[in-house]
Amino acid sequence: MKKRVAILGSTGSIGTQALEVIKENPDYFEIEVLTAYNNIELLAKQANEFQPNTVVIANEDKYDELSALLNDSAIKIYAGNDAIAQIVEMDTIDIVLTAMVGYSGLIPTINAIKSGKNIALANKETLVVAGELVQKLAFHHKVSIYPVDSEHSAIFQCLVGEGQNAIEKIILTASGGPFRGKEIDFLKTATKENALKHPNWEMGAKITIDSATLMNKGLEAIEARWLFGLNPNQIEVVVHPQSIIHSAVQFEDGSMKAQMGLPDMKLPILYALSFPERIKTDFPRFSFWDYPELTFEKPDLKSFKNLGLAFEAMDKCGNMPCILNAANEIAVEAFLRDKIGFCEMTDVIEQSMQKMNYIRHPELDDLIKTDQETREFSKSLIK
Ligand code: MG
């Protein structure tokens, strides 16, 4: 039986790579649903190639254009965020790959879990904002969440076969991004063009900026906490510029397992979709002879304050990670529009964390409200 896949965010970096993986493995997977935010040309092209049952475009203004592009096909077409949230409930979906950007992934992921769909999770913000709640729902509905993020896939792979053996700690590796080794004076004048040049990974704009500020690693720490049931003090970040060791787990006997490979998102995407199977690929293989030196450094928390803020939010828990995430999304967007400088992103996040109402045990409605209010406040800080 082929796995029938819904891809939320099919025109983004993870979405397009997932379609490549699926195209290379037609005996294992078929596409049931594709959704995109705005890019109707690419969505229509993907729909024509993969012939899903349904496509959804988030931007309702693009519905007519998309319909015109697909007018001689039998593919069902819907528009709007509500349609995306509902489409994941379709009976004919086996697994939902959540690859949209940011907070927008939350409600569709929750709906998919509630209707019993397994999740291949590429949208880390979902667990950052509502990790506790999402994990409870997944447990209740007997749904598995397979990580697509390369670090979390690495940890997940290290845990295969370990049964109830407890984790002592995990080591999340970070490339350090394009500004590794730079000090605050440099960062103050860093441009978005340079911030968008990641040394190892090809990714979308939002996550690439998050990698440059190290916020991405902070979001990943929070994501890991919920995925693997850890306390914040069990999560360590190590800068590893070559991005070959994708992360590691230390067990209670002192043994450490790491997962290695070339930096290529297609591997964790494939593993999340094919688990527990490993499917044969012709992806380029890692060779020690090409990497005679693998190096490791402590993260520079003085220059890259966002990582510290994320750990602070993780410690405080409640709605604080939601505040952190909303402020960060607004800050990154403002930086990408040249409205604020690189270090001012930190100011926006820090002030939002100080100013917004803290809720120790938020329900989903509280988180939705926190997200909205934080966005408004963060925007008010940006002139
Ligand atoms: Mg990652």
How remote is the CA of residue 45 from the centroid of ligand 1, in Å? 28
How remote is the CA of residue 323 from the centroid of ligand 1, in Å? 21
Tell me what percent of the residues of the chain surpass a pLDDT of 70.
Answer: 100
How remote is the CA of residue 18 from the centroid of ligand 1, in Å? 16
Nearest to 125 by CA among 137, 110, 112, 111: 110
Return the residue matching tokens 């070339």: 262
Q: List, in sequence order, the alpha helices (H) in the chain.
A: 13-24, 40-50, 63-69, 81-87, 106-114, 124-140, 150-159, 184-188, 192-195, 205-213, 215-228, 266-274, 305-316, 320-336, 344-355, 364-381
How remote is the CA of residue 168 from the centroid of ligand 1, in Å? 21
How remote is the CA of residue 147 from the centroid of ligand 1, in Å? 10
How remote is the CA of residue 151 from the centroid of ligand 1, in Å? 5
Coil vs helix vs strand at 154: helix
How remote is the CA of residue 246 from the centroid of ligand 1, in Å? 8
Is pLDDT above 90 for 35?
Answer: yes
pLDDT for 214-265, tens place per residue?
999 999 999 999 999 999 999 999 999 999 999 999 999 999 999 999 999 9
How remote is the CA of residue 255 from the centroid of ligand 1, in Å? 24
Which residues, in sequence order, are CB contacts of 57 under 8 Å at separation 6+? 35, 36, 37, 38, 40, 43, 63, 66, 77, 78, 79
pLDDT for 84-93, tens place per residue?
999 999 999 9
Domains of the chain by residue range:
3-147, 152-259+286-316
- Looking at residue 172, its pLDDT comes to 98
- Looking at residue 4, its pLDDT comes to 98
Return the residue matching tokens 């505040």: 323
How remote is the CA of residue 91 from the centroid of ligand 1, in Å? 31
- The pLDDT confidence band at residue 72, using thresholds 50, 70 and 90, is confident
Fold of 3-147: Rossmann fold (3.40.50)
How remote is the CA of residue 196 from the centroid of ligand 1, in Å? 16
Six-digit token string for 87 = 């489409």
- Looking at residue 29, its pLDDT comes to 98
- Looking at residue 200, its pLDDT comes to 83
- The pLDDT confidence band at residue 16, using thresholds 50, 70 and 90, is very high
Which residues, in sequence order, are CB contacts of 69 under 8 Å at separation 6+? 40, 41, 44
How remote is the CA of residue 259 from the centroid of ligand 1, in Å? 13
How remote is the CA of residue 12 from the centroid of ligand 1, in Å? 15
Cα dist. 238→68, 171, 296, 298, 306 in Å? 50, 7, 6, 6, 15
pLDDT for 309-349, tens place per residue?
999 999 999 999 999 999 999 999 999 999 999 999 999 99
Is pLDDT above 90 for 199?
Answer: no
**Pairwise CA distance, residues 8 & 108, whole Å:** 9
How remote is the CA of residue 87 from the centroid of ligand 1, in Å? 27
How remote is the CA of residue 207 from the centroid of ligand 1, in Å? 9
Q: What angle do CA 109, 264, 191 make, to 5 degrees?
A: 85
**CA 79 to chain centroid:** 23
| Other C-beta atoms lying within 10 Å of the C-beta of residue 75 | 17
**Pairwise CA distance, residues 362 & 346, whole Å:** 25
